Amino acid sequence: MKQLNTALLILCMLWLLPVQAEQSVRSGEYEIHYNAITTNQLTAMVASHYGISRSSTQAMLNVTVLKKASDDDLGTAVSAEVAVTSRNLTGQMQAIDMRKIEEQDAIYYIGLKKVRNLETLHYQITVTADEMNEPITIKYTTQFYTD
């Protein structure tokens, strides 16, 4: 059952890529993938499995950290400290709690935040893996459509 849930989560995320493109940043041997969607885009089964409420007014930020030996290497998921803040267009800032999800060879960091229609959020994502010399900071902006 655990393999089925992992496969469903991966398929769900891949299905969503054309709708909300995944972003990635490479720094040395680390590659960080991140994206944000509203949780109503998750299947009911995936949302239920992870205890996430499906809603057009709840955004989910997903971050994955991979360590890659070469450009051709798909990479290995690694644990990291993932700290995230969001800022809206009026300057209101909020720290987002990130929850670590480990399943087989995959590690995801998921954070949730309420959003309004046409709200633009500027995320600052700071990633520190055990073997990194310095943290990697990513700035990511996205707009949410809830209607």
Return the DSSP state at 97. -
What share of the chain has pLDDT > 70, as a percent? 85
133 falls in which pLDDT band (50, 70, 90)?
Answer: confident
Q: What are the residue ranges of helices labelled H in 1-147?
A: 2-16, 44-49
60 falls in which pLDDT band (50, 70, 90)?
Answer: very high
**pLDDT tens digits, 71-128:** 788 899 999 999 999 999 999 999 999 999 999 999 999 999 999 999 999 999 999 9
Query: Can you list the domains of the chain with their CATH numbers?
Result: 2-143 (2.60.40.3340)
Average pLDDT of the segment spanning 27-35: 94
What share of the chain has pLDDT > 90, as a percent? 75
Enumerate the β-bridge partners of residue 141.
122
